[in-house]
Amino acid sequence: MATSSPEQIQTENKKIVSTDQAPAAIGPYSQAIIHGGLVYCSGQIALDPVTMEVVGEDAETQARQVMNNLGEVLRSAGSDFSEVIKCSIFLDSMDDFGVVNNVYGAFFTENPPARETVAVQTLPKNVLVEISCIASV
């Protein structure tokens, strides 16, 4: 797969971050915004960045894809998981909390960020998990 360099579009007060290494936005939002030394990453779901199809039917597989996508957005913004300050996790069912927590924890082995986890009625494309974050740049 050919890789392209991340794109950052500068506006007056913010930089819009975009990379083809993570799924393209499926609505009127940016993958991430850099402002004031922070990167605000939009929620990622378990989409393959090339096919834009949902990866996996179980929460563990989907959570791994979500975290990989989030990592690519962070990298494109000039950050990484060690700089994450806050995460929000949205689950289709709290029954998946344990398995998603295990996948998530593998990406934050030291000094984990603040976070909340909530169950919601429905997520985009009927996925099982969505995660967003804020990190320093």
Residue 1 in this model has a pLDDT that exceeds 60: no
User: Residue 6: which pLDDT band, with cuts at 50, 70 and 90?
Assistant: low
pLDDT digit string, tens, across residues 30-43: 999 999 999 999 99
8 Å CB contact between 110 and 81: no
Question: Quick one: pLDDT at residue 11?
Answer: 65
CA distance 104 to 76: 20
| Domain ranges within the chain, ordered by starting residue | 7-136
Domain 7-136 CATH superfamily: RutC-like (3.30.1330.40)
Average pLDDT over residues 18-31: 94
Q: Average pLDDT of 19-47?
A: 96
What is the 3-state composition of the chain as percent helix, strand, coil, each rounded to the nearest 5? 30, 30, 40
- Termini Cα distance of the chain: 27
